[in-house]
Structure 1
Amino acid sequence: MTRLFAAVALIASFWTTAAPAIEIQAVTSPAGRSAWLTEEHSIPFVAIDVVFTGGASLDPDQRAGAVSLMTALLTEGAGDYDAQGFAAALEALAGRISFEAGRDSVRMSIRALTENRDAVIDLAILALTDAHFSQQSLDRVRAQHIAGLEREAQDPNSIAQRVYAELGYAGHPYAVPTDGTPDTVAALTVDDILAAHRAALTSDLAYVGAAGDITAAELGAIVDRLLGDLPASNTPLPEYRRFDAGPGVTVVAHPGTQSVIQFGLPGLHWDDDDFMPAFLMNEIFGGGGFGSRLMKEIRERRGLTYGIYTSLASYRFGDSYVGRFSTANESVGEAIDLVRQQFEWLAEGGITQEDLERAQTYLTGAYPLRFDGNESIARILASMQFQHYDIDYVNVRNDLVRAVTLEDVQRVARRLSHPHQLRFVVVGEPEGLDETE
């Protein structure tokens, strides 16, 4: 996402060796709504993020992509402004308002200079509550979305991700692409967009984070202005679902000299007591770039791929322990066997104390770099609330990382790593596979 403001209030000074705590205020608006704030008055700039719970997971059956398309239309004309007029008004204020739809949420981001803040907020309120959703705008933006979806439909990485989700979350909203399909998006009407707006942008399931040149009283008033005219939620949220594809290899034919392989197992949720040990385990095993076990064994030692990674895909309504890599078609069978072997290594206690300490040093040192300005801080504060973290989490997080023991990591490795339960999705023209489904 392009940044309009180079001058942001850095907080790196908070993270010296002494590392004083970051001050996060819990704000209650006059109407009783909550928000979190980090004040920084040295630069006349403010960032505000709002996370609305639900996102694309609220799309009805056969209406996949409705929330995503609705989100893209919010700034395509609102109030007395058409699309060009809205963009020009925002540019004249040197402000930015953006919306992004995800699997679990819709995020609104507001960036403004202090002197223009109220005027930018006024435009944000128009986008939230008085977007036009005209047929002309719908047709134009929908055509753009369909073109992108048609390109994705030919991309092997996107195909692997889609099939993996279909296998692991059958019957759940996670089985459907966040942005829909060309067919579902083509069928969306203005009424569908209005319904998506009512379902996805609700006042009672919103989390607000702010950072910069703003006081708690000012933020409280702004929160009420932003959310006060939005409806309460009336669409049930999805049930939680663990990834449950079961073991095996699924091949999707796709031309090319290489195959994309996505693989995974059930994961765990971010509020699980074992999440921090699992996070460290993954950093060592597949999440740590060139230093990870999988990169060393499959790239460096065998030269079978340019890169391989794993991640704890822990979402609001589901989880998976997932990885992906590409390899030459003739190497697919060998590479899959090696991945299984590495999961056996993991389950059998292969991680050492040295591995753990190296990961702890890296993770505790890198964490402060996430807080590189008001924009980043506002996003983090809203996300922390969405994930139900305590307000002081940022100040204890590194202590939690350091507290993880080798016994913790090996316990969670045994819990998560089941080599013979791995599901592989292979997109390409693979050779040397022993089993397919």
Structure 2
Amino acid sequence: MIRFAMTFCVALAASAANAAIDIQQVTSPGGIEAWLVEDHNIPFTALEIRVRGGAALDEPGKRGATNLMMATLEEGAGDLDAQAFQTAREDLAAGFGFDAGDDMVSISAQMLTDNRDEAVALLRDAIVNPRFDQSAIDRVRQQVLSNIASDAKSPGDIASAAFDKAAFGDHPYGSPLSGTVESVTALTRDDIVTAHDNALVRDRVYVGVVGDITPADLGPLLDDLLGDLPESGPALPPEVEDMLDGGTTVIPFDTPQSVALFGQPGLRRDDPDYMAAYVLNEILGGAGFESRLMNEVREKRGLTYGVSTFLVPKFHADLWMGQVASSNATVAEAIEVIRAEWARIARDGVTQEELDKIKTYLTGAYPLRFDGNAEIASILVGMQVIDLPPEYVENRNEMLAAVTLDDVNRLAATLLQPDRLHFVVVGEPEGLAAAN
């Protein structure tokens, strides 16, 4: 898939630092909604499109269909075969990207103002009228199969697949979205067409736009680009039942260093305590060398080069996860230290000094995210997906500042569950037996 490298660092970055981004909510004549930030300093526009559903909509026995479909969108559209499509895109100096995730499919586009109409027409064909030539499907299928074979030799990917299976079982989240060798090999062109019809639908579209375009021009563009998509798609999958326990899964793998992925149930993104959870995670394992786990596992004991934690709020399940790598001789000790720190912070909480330090870091780092048109467009569409209001850009640091020590420690005591922290370890760990 093409990744357009051009990034314009514009005046919006400075505006973000001053919380002064002007987000306009635009509705096209056909009813498609988008968020727009105008910037006419450079004749360039970035679009980020998300459609809710994603690879979780793969039909039974067709795992990998959505992933393969999205990877084939740019392999010919309308009257243009794969080579002609790429030539046309290059002639327009446009950049397109297509991707599939568990919960969404993503479409990215960057284009110059002078070529905008032609670039939109080309992108529209890829989205609405892809060719799905058998030769293109087979070529991309081989790329996917190569990636699957590579993942099967990667300790990190092996751990991820095993953890997902333990956490989500038979739900679509429980298997890799790229599919298996068997499922991808068996996919037909009809399966790809069905995946297209299921994944790309109007009533689940979110759009963020930044750059040299006005609301008056954006409305018709949205209808031209997306108006001919099916109105709706199949039902979304159900919520995932909570399946994690406090066990350990050991997967033997010939490597001098074991990789461990660990996690427990998390918190929904729309929970009122999510900001406090975000702060707590940064203190526990998200803030690099300043985190508790980095201090305990690396700095004090030298058991790893790095350990981190992160919140994973999916649409149908929520996790609090982390990862660490350590030599086979020391990974058991690293896991013991992580479990102990998980329990200690749940029992004793954090200090006011820790809270003040991490809040200063997070408020200062936030404006740095707004460093280019494509990046800002991605932020805009991400906010819509999780139902944040436009004012969040201005109010986010105030919300962060309002998080109190009582908020964080109350959440630590209720949400952190060391007894349910499950580890998946891939390697040849010494002195570590599987609890499951």
TM-score by length of 2: 0.97
Are residue 5 (structure 1) and residue 11 (structure 2) matched?
no
Distance in 2 separating the partners of 1:90 and 1:81: 11
What SS is found at the alignment partner of 1:241? coil
What SS is found at the alignment partner of 2:330? helix
Preserved contact between residue 210 and residue 376 of structure 2 (Cα < 8 Å): yes
RMSD between superposed Cα atoms in Å: 1.3
Q: Describe how 1:177-216 pairs up with structure 2 within 5 A.
A: 177-216=176-215
Aligned residues: 435
Which amino acid counterpart does residue 411 of structure 1 have in structure 2?
R
Distance in 2 separating the partners of 1:220 and 1:433: 59
1:242 deviates by 5.7
Larger mean CA deviation between 343-352 and 192-201 belongs to: 343-352
Q: Describe how 1:12-51 pairs up with structure 2 within 5 A.
A: 12-16=13-17, 19-51=18-50
Distance in 2 separating the partners of 1:187 and 1:144: 15
Judging changes above 3 Å, is the alpha-carbon distance between structure 1 residues 177 and 301 closer, same or farther for their aligned structure 2 residues? Answer: same
1:362 deviates by 0.7
What SS is found at the alignment partner of 1:330? coil
Which amino acid counterpart does residue 11 of structure 1 have in structure 2?
L
1:81 aligned partner? 80
Q: Describe how 1:96-245 pairs up with structure 2 within 5 A.
A: 96-241=95-240, 243-245=242-244
2:379 aligned partner? 380
Larger mean CA deviation between 342-351 and 242-251 belongs to: 242-251
What SS is found at the alignment partner of 2:78? coil
Judging changes above 3 Å, is the alpha-carbon distance between structure 1 residues 12 and 235 closer, same or farther for their aligned structure 2 residues? Answer: same
What SS is found at the alignment partner of 1:436? coil
Judging changes above 3 Å, is the alpha-carbon distance between structure 1 residues 323 and 222 closer, same or farther for their aligned structure 2 residues? Answer: same
1:423 aligned partner? 422
Judging changes above 3 Å, is the alpha-carbon distance between structure 1 residues 52 and 166 closer, same or farther for their aligned structure 2 residues? Answer: same
Deviation readout 1:386-411 (Å, 9 max, x if unpaired): 11111211111111110000000011
Which amino acid counterpart does residue 354 of structure 1 have in structure 2?
E
Preserved contact between residue 156 and residue 428 of structure 1 (Cα < 8 Å): yes
Judging changes above 3 Å, is the alpha-carbon distance between structure 1 residues 21 and 80 closer, same or farther for their aligned structure 2 residues? Answer: same
Distance in 2 separating the partners of 1:174 and 1:130: 29
Judging changes above 3 Å, is the alpha-carbon distance between structure 1 residues 397 and 7 closer, same or farther for their aligned structure 2 residues? Answer: closer
1:435 deviates by 4.8
Distance in 2 separating the partners of 1:215 and 1:6: 20
What SS is found at the alignment partner of 2:77? coil
Unmatched 5+ stretches in structure 1? none
Which amino acid counterpart does residue 183 of structure 2 have in structure 1?
T
2:258 aligned partner? 259
What SS is found at the alignment partner of 1:47? strand
1:90 aligned partner? 89
Preserved contact between residue 283 and residue 359 of structure 1 (Cα < 8 Å): yes
Deviation readout 1:353-392 (Å, 9 max, x if unpaired): 1101111111111111111111111111111111111121
Distance in 2 separating the partners of 1:135 and 1:3: 26
Preserved contact between residue 40 and residue 212 of structure 2 (Cα < 8 Å): yes
Would you identify which runs of 4 or more consecutive aligned residues in structure 1 move more than 3 Å? Answer: 1-4
1:15 deviates by 4.1
Distance in 1 separating the partners of 2:5 and 2:320: 36
Distance in 1 separating the partners of 2:421 and 2:7: 45
Which amino acid counterpart does residue 285 of structure 1 have in structure 2?
L
What SS is found at the alignment partner of 1:197? helix
What SS is found at the alignment partner of 1:204? helix
Distance in 2 separating the partners of 1:276 and 1:7: 30
1:21 deviates by 2.4
Preserved contact between residue 141 and residue 184 of structure 2 (Cα < 8 Å): yes
Preserved contact between residue 333 and residue 434 of structure 1 (Cα < 8 Å): no
1:36 deviates by 0.4
1:200 deviates by 0.3
What SS is found at the alignment partner of 2:145? helix
Deviation readout 1:273-331 (Å, 9 max, x if unpaired): 11100000000110001111000100111111111000001112211100111111122
Preserved contact between residue 9 and residue 212 of structure 1 (Cα < 8 Å): no
Distance in 2 separating the partners of 1:406 and 1:366: 21
Distance in 2 separating the partners of 1:140 and 1:2: 19
Preserved contact between residue 260 and residue 324 of structure 2 (Cα < 8 Å): yes
1:61 aligned partner? 60
Distance in 1 separating the partners of 2:5 and 2:80: 22
Are residue 276 (structure 1) and residue 270 (structure 2) matched?
no
What SS is found at the alignment partner of 2:213? coil
Distance in 2 separating the partners of 1:140 and 1:92: 24
What SS is found at the alignment partner of 1:196? helix
Q: Describe how 1:300-311 pairs up with structure 2 within 5 A.
A: 300-311=299-310
Q: Describe how 1:315-330 pairs up with structure 2 within 5 A.
A: 315-330=314-329
What SS is found at the alignment partner of 2:210? strand
Larger mean CA deviation between 74-83 and 344-353 belongs to: 344-353
Percent of counterpart pairs with the same letter?
A: 46
